[in-house]
Amino acid sequence: MREIIFDTETTGFDPRNGDRMVEIGCIEMINRVPTGQTYHAYFNPERTMPAEAEAVHGLSDDFLADKPLFAHCAQDFVAFIGDAPMIAHNASFDFNFINFELAKCGLPEVCLTRMVDTVALAKVRHPGAKLSLDALCTRYGIDRSHRTKHGALLDAELLAQVYVELRGGRQIGLELLAETAEATTESRILIRKDRPFRQPRPHAATEEELLIHAEFLKSVDAPLWGA
């Protein structure tokens, strides 16, 4: 299964108020294993960067001045994400900006049915706990010492590790081949369909083992199974 883990950096909180996306970073995963394929780009927002936003991600007006408009990169971005599910932390925020930029270019928006929000996953798995990306990295022992400021590709790389943990941890690597799932009231049982059926091996006791067992029973005082 192909999935895209991504993050954005912006000039603010709401594209309807004139805020724009200035960076996006995407990580491709197949069966929840990073493939090494990424998409990363900076964009000229055609507006000034508020000081409070620059303090978060460090992207200044001077740095973004020579960067392309999103419209000039939109087709490459759309080609990279394909039709895969898209995973982000507080995903509705990032989807709002992506779909605003796509609509501004006259391109179809990304369907919200593709959206997977790791905040929602974390709420189910860790109710009442802190759910920031930093907090989840700490919980799962993921090194973020190199994260001095927010960065879309760096945060996507960290989120990819968090996402694997939220989905069950490293043991998901055992589920790479075709499988079906049967839900029970207690757990989810995975059944591997790729393995050939094998007849059970003979396991009946030999005559010698039966004699040894009979002798052993003679040494047991009033065994319940002999009643």
Would you state the pLDDT for residue 187?
39
Q: Residue 8 in contact with residue 97, Cβ under 8 Å?
A: yes
pLDDT digits (tens, 9 = 90+) for 161-211: 999 999 987 644 444 444 444 433 333 444 455 667 777 676 777 888 888
Structure tokens at 206: 């030999």
Q: Which residues are catalytic?
A: 150
Selection from 149, 125, 131 nearest residue 59 by Cα: 149
Residue 183: the pLDDT is 39
Phi, psi of 21 (to 5 degrees): -80, 135
Q: Which residue has the higher pLDDT, 146 or 50?
A: 50
Domain regions of the chain by residue span: 2-173
Question: Across all residues in the chain, what is the average pLDDT?
Answer: 86
**What local confidence, expressed as pLDDT, does residue 194 receive?**
60
- pLDDT, tens digit, for every residue of 34-57? 999 999 999 999 999 999 999 999
Residues of the chain with pLDDT > 70, as a percent, come to 84
On whether the CB atoms of residues 131 and 90 are closer than 8 A, the answer is no
Top pLDDT among 208 and 65 is at: 65
The answer as to CATH 2.60.120.10 being correct for domain 2-173 is: no
Tell me what pLDDT residue 56 has.
Answer: 93
Annotated binding residues for a divalent metal cation? 7, 9, 155
> Which residues carry a binding-site annotation?
7, 9, 52, 57, 155
Residue 20: which of 79, 81, 82, 102 has the closest Cα? Answer: 102
Write the DSSP symbol of residue 113: G
Nearest Cα neighbor of 27 from 96, 85, 99, 92 is 85
Binding-site members for substrate are 7, 9, 52, 57, 155
